[in-house]
Structure 1
Amino acid sequence: MHGPFNRMGRRKPMNEINVVPFIDVMLVLLVIFMITAPMLTQGVQVELPQTASEPIEDTQDQEPIIVSVDREGEYFVSLGGDETQVSLDELSERVMVLLEREPGTRVLVRGDRNVAYGQVVTLMSTLQNAGVANVGLISEPPPGES
């Protein structure tokens, strides 16, 4: 008689390993790591523009808050054409007040190309601390493109 039973009716030990439970555990771990990996990244979230990108279609009726940094490193806040020079601390307070008045308003950063990268990162960190979830960067298309 062939098979897993011998003459006494007892089972013979199998010499094969069942790998299905191991595969199940590995798939569960893979899913867990895929879900948690994006949560581990830290820093300011920014939607970086591409050089040959199309302009964003404005689906909102309200004007965005535009924060500018000029060549000398001075900060300006603009809402609806009214541009005011502010310090970094005033900028945070002013943006918080504007967002409390009009929640969901987009915040865009316009920086001079000669401003130090660290100063723009400091500005974006200040905006994030003021409650801005997403910061957009304003850029111009390269010469020759319209």
Structure 2
Amino acid sequence: MTFGSLSENDGDEPLVEINMIPLIDIMLVLLVIFIITAPLLTHSVKIDLPRASSAPTLTKPDNVQVAIDSAGQVYWNGDAVTVDALTSKLQTAATLTPQPELHLRAERTTPYEKVAAVMSTSARAGLTRIGFVTEPSNTN
């Protein structure tokens, strides 16, 4: 809103202020329209849908326990195996469907080189799911 002033120089300049009253009126009208129509938009249609009872057939893959002791001896599900036997067992396990999970256990004093060798052998054989099994520590 502009107010007149007592100065003589202000009469010939155009008004540069925007009249906000019509914009506020339009906004309030739109707000009332949205308040009235919003509850109408939540109307839902009740439909009786058919019910199906089916359980997914999940085939849980087996797991293979591979353990390495501190001397570097490798055990396949509790049985001692050589490196060649381990490679052939890993290759046959990789061809199974679903592919079994490889649970790798190693003693605390086992050199990392032995663990890395078993991991690379299993990766080359085609096993993709390799997990480490550890003992939880008692932190009391």
TM range (shorter): 0.5 to 0.7
Instruction: Trace 1:99-138 onto structure 2 (pairs within 5 A).
Output: 99-138=94-133
- Distance in 2 (CA, whole Å) between partners of 1:61 and 1:128 is 21
- Distance in 2 (CA, whole Å) between partners of 1:69 and 1:60 is 29
Whether 1:72 aligns to 2:71 is yes
Cα drift, residue 134 of structure 1: 2.8
Give the TM-score normalised by the residue count of structure 2.
0.53
Aligned length: 83
Larger Rg: 2
Cα deviation code 1:84-117 (max 9, x no counterpart): 2111221011121123234321111000110101
Cα deviation code 1:123-143 (max 9, x no counterpart): 101111111113100001111
Instruction: Trace 1:1-146 onto structure 2 (pairs within 5 A).
Output: 61-78=60-77, 83-144=78-139
- Distance in 1 (CA, whole Å) between partners of 2:99 and 2:93 is 10
1:25 maps to none
Q: Alpha carbons of 1:60 and 1:115: their partners in 2 closer, same or farther (altered >3 Å)? A: farther
Cα drift, residue 70 of structure 1: 1.0
Where structure 2 has 5 or more consecutive residues not aligned to the other structure, the ranges are: 1-57
Where structure 1 has 5 or more consecutive residues not aligned to the other structure, the ranges are: 1-58
CA RMSD, aligned part only?
2.0
Q: Alpha carbons of 1:142 and 1:91: their partners in 2 closer, same or farther (altered >3 Å)? A: same
The sequence identity of aligned pairs, in percent, is 23
Give the TM-score normalised by the residue count of structure 1.
0.51
Amino acid at match of 2:101: R
Amino acid at match of 1:69: I
Cα deviation code 1:9-47 (max 9, x no counterpart): xxxxxxxxxxxxxxxxxxxxxxxxxxxxxxxxxxxxxxx
